[in-house]
Structure 1
Amino acid sequence: MTFVLTSPAFTEGQIMPQAQVYNGMGQSGGNLSPALSWKGAPEGTKSFVVTVYDPDAPTGSGWWHWVVANIPSDVTSLPEGAGSGKGGLPPAAAQVRTDFGVPGYGGAAPPPGKPHRYIFRVDALDIPVIDVSEQTSAAAVGFYVHHHTLGHATLTALYGGE
């Protein structure tokens, strides 16, 4: 079975709904993390990490919009708003600092110009827990992910271009 990530909010390559757009930085969205579900994780998966990354942000290094680590291997979905303080994250899960400077979901907020890609990704890890706190950077989580990923699935939404 193929490892697949889906959302009822959008499909691959669609425009991100206003509910998932940031509320600030010139945007007036709902700033709700979308509902996500995944299936077909590789055998031996002990935990998951969910991230949202904008490689098109004009920073030289992209922009991390959401990082959630330590999602238990028996969890295969997150409800809308789970990363926005609306509940639904597993108790063991840990949201870490994004490029907005705080943990939790931060929606799309591109400057005017071309549409940006928002890459939602779930990684299946071969370890049950990574040592993170709310102040851990996305890059530090990426280090663990790089060394412990059994596989990953992505879903990309577009936003911007005004």
Structure 2
Amino acid sequence: MDLHRPLAPEPYDQLPTVPGFTLTSQDVSDGAPMAEAHSAEGGSTSPQLAWEGLPEGTRSLVVSCFDPDAPTPAGFWHWTVANLPASTTSLPTGAGSADGAHLPEGAVQVRNDGGGAGFTGAAPPEGDRVHRYVFAVHALDVDRLDVDETTTPTKVAFLSLFHTLARATLTPTFQR
């Protein structure tokens, strides 16, 4: 198996352009390697995320983490949370626990591409190139998406596309 394939495109560059806002983290940095705690072997702990500057008309949020460099035709969704209230301005470290105990009321955590609930940490194949983990916050113009825990992350992304007012991303990396 050739793990040295070309770099996948930036996933959100493939979608219609929308305004941005500010996304920061105390745990991860754009372009920098993530700590082991955010890997599957290190405990699959989701990083702290905070955002500001949401556009007027924001009624709910979707937060996701996507690895476009996974050795699949469609990348790998590590985490998707829909129906976060528009008043949410951050998620603490570990908010992506399987039980969702640290998420605001009404938020829905859909299954990740590993089939489980919550955030599944970085787990690129041993010896593969550096993988990018695109954490995205999408500001939506609807109060909620019609999704539940069994919805796929791809469906959440598709439904969000038609309601996204603005998007912010932060892309740390990981390699084994």
TM-score of Structure 1 vs Structure 2, range by shorter chain: over 0.9
**What amino acid does structure 1 have at the position aligned with 2:66?**
Y
Within 5 A, what are the aligned runs for 1:24-35?
28-35=41-48
Bigger drift between 77-86 and 34-43 goes to 77-86
Identical-residue share of aligned pairs (%): 50
2:59 alignment partner, one of 24, 46, 59: 46
Could you tell me which runs of 5 or more consecutive residues in structure 2 were left unpaired when the two chains were aligned.
1-18
Shift of 1:87: 2.9
Within 5 A, what are the aligned runs for 1:128-143?
128-143=143-158
The change in CA–CA distance for 1:86 and 1:140 in structure 2 (over 3 A counts) is: closer
The answer to whether the aligner puts 1:37 opposite 2:50 as a matched pair is yes
Match of 1:25 in 2: none
Q: Is the 8 A contact 2:100 2:118 kept in 1?
A: no
Q: Which has the higher strand share?
A: 1
Within 5 A, what are the aligned runs for 1:60-71?
60-71=73-84
What TM-score do you get using the length of structure 1 for normalisation?
0.92
Deviations 1:66-90 (A, max 9, x none): 0000000001100111111473200
The answer to whether the aligner puts 1:74 opposite 2:87 as a matched pair is yes
Match of 1:123 in 2: 138
Deviations 1:94-121 (A, max 9, x none): 0001101122100100002101000000
Q: Is the 8 A contact 1:103 1:135 kept in 2?
A: no
Match of 2:173 in 1: 158
Match of 1:8 in 2: 26
CA RMSD of aligned residues (A): 1.4
Q: Find the aligned partners of 2:143 and 2:132 in 1 and give their Cα distance.
A: 30
Runs in 1 of length 4+ with deviation above 4 angstroms?
none
Report the number of matched residues: 156
Match of 2:39 in 1: 21
Q: Find the aligned partners of 1:9 and 1:74 in 2 and give their Cα distance.
A: 22
Could you tell me which runs of 5 or more consecutive residues in structure 1 were left unpaired when the two chains were aligned.
23-27
Q: Is the 8 A contact 2:48 2:90 kept in 1?
A: yes
Q: Find the aligned partners of 1:154 and 1:33 in 2 and give their Cα distance.
A: 15
